Structure 1
Amino acid sequence: MATLVLGGARSGKTGHALGLAHRSGLKKFMIVTAPALDGSMAQRIARHRAERGDDWTVFEEETDLARLLRRIAAPDRIVVIDCLTLWLSNLFFRNRDFALETGRLGEAVAAAPGEIVAISNELGLGVAPETRLGNDFRDAQGLVNQRIAAACGRVFFVAAGLPLQLK
């Protein structure tokens, strides 16, 4: 079954996703989408690595999640994708067709032979961005979240470390 875990920054969404993976009893795989472009992001990546522990097989993929997911998903594995927001950012700033890529990812998630847990930010609950680029990105993130939620059997929204099951 595929699961989408949504939440705001520092909401506990990654911790919830890792808990799902640990409780699954399956071999744990992680796809990380964040490039370490600066010291702050490098620290965040190191913190997430420490949270995970050493019993994970980790893949780094900034743009082609569907292809990698099709390659590594298996019935004896759980694959956690961290995160769709940074993936979208990678697509956005490379002028890639995010709607096409999101469709491909949704198909790969729905067809995956093992468990998938995708993590994504919910950006539509805050103050409207000041710039057109910010608005375009927020809107694109909303579409990504809707498409992937439709492909998943379970969807959680996490706030203040508390998961609420939406689907």
Structure 2
Amino acid sequence: MILITGGIKSGKSTFALKKALEYKKRAFLATGVPFDGEMKARIQKHKEERGNLFDTYEEPLHVVDILEKVDGQYDVVLFECLTTYIGNLYYYELNIMEFIDKLVDKIASMKSEVIVVTNEVGWGIVPENKLARQYAETLGKTNTKLSNIADEVYLVVAGIGVRIK
């Protein structure tokens, strides 16, 4: 598994796409939900960037089901992104830790390579509201779990990917 992390608009998605293109048979697991115009535009931009180079699966919540379905059928699965996925779990008020534990276990057992894109959200000011703090802590802890099982970890800053593991 390869984990790609960094700040918002740091170039993580572009870096991840380039990494995934090193593999022959590729799947893309998208977690974004077009809740508003901005998100619709962002999703459309990502679709255009990857063109027909990937088989795309869109799933905001039950990503483990998709990973089980595609495991072994592809050389690589690009999972974009963990940050949005965890946000979806909070939005739909699901048992977040149960979903995350299943996700980490599934990724650890995958036959296909998995590239996970995530964000570093805890580098700034501590959020003033409890929900935002919980979200940042959950994402940080999940990033740590994934980095522990990852073969490679990259931090993307200003469009430059730096291997940190």
Figure out how many residues of one structure are paired with residues of the other and give that number. Answer: 165
Written as runs of structure 1 = structure 2, the 5 A alignment for 1:36-115 is 36-74=34-72, 76-115=74-113
Paired residues of 2:16 and 2:78 also in contact (CA < 8 A): yes
Tell me which residue corresponds to 1:20: 19
RMSD of aligned C-alpha atoms?
Answer: 1.2
Seq. identity, %:
28
DSSP-derived class of the 2:141 partner: helix
What secondary structure does 1:121 align onto?
A: coil
Q: Deviations over 1:34-58 (max 9, x none)?
A: 1001110000011111111212110
**Aligned AA (1:36):** P
So what's the TM-score if we normalise by structure 2? 0.95
Gapped runs of 5+ residues in structure 2? none
Instruction: Describe the SS at the equivalent of 1:91.
Output: helix
1:83-141 Cα distance to aligned partner (Å, 9 max, x none): 00110011112221222211111111111111110100110111211211111111111
Question: How far is 1:151 from its partner?
Answer: 2.3
Question: 5+ unaligned residues in a row in structure 1: which ranges?
Answer: none
Asked whether the equivalents of residues 26 and 74 of structure 2 are also in contact (C-alpha less than 8 Å), the reply is: no
AA aligned opposite 1:22:
L
- 1:77 CA displacement: 2.2
User: 2:38 and 2:92 mapped to 1: Cα distance?
Assistant: 22
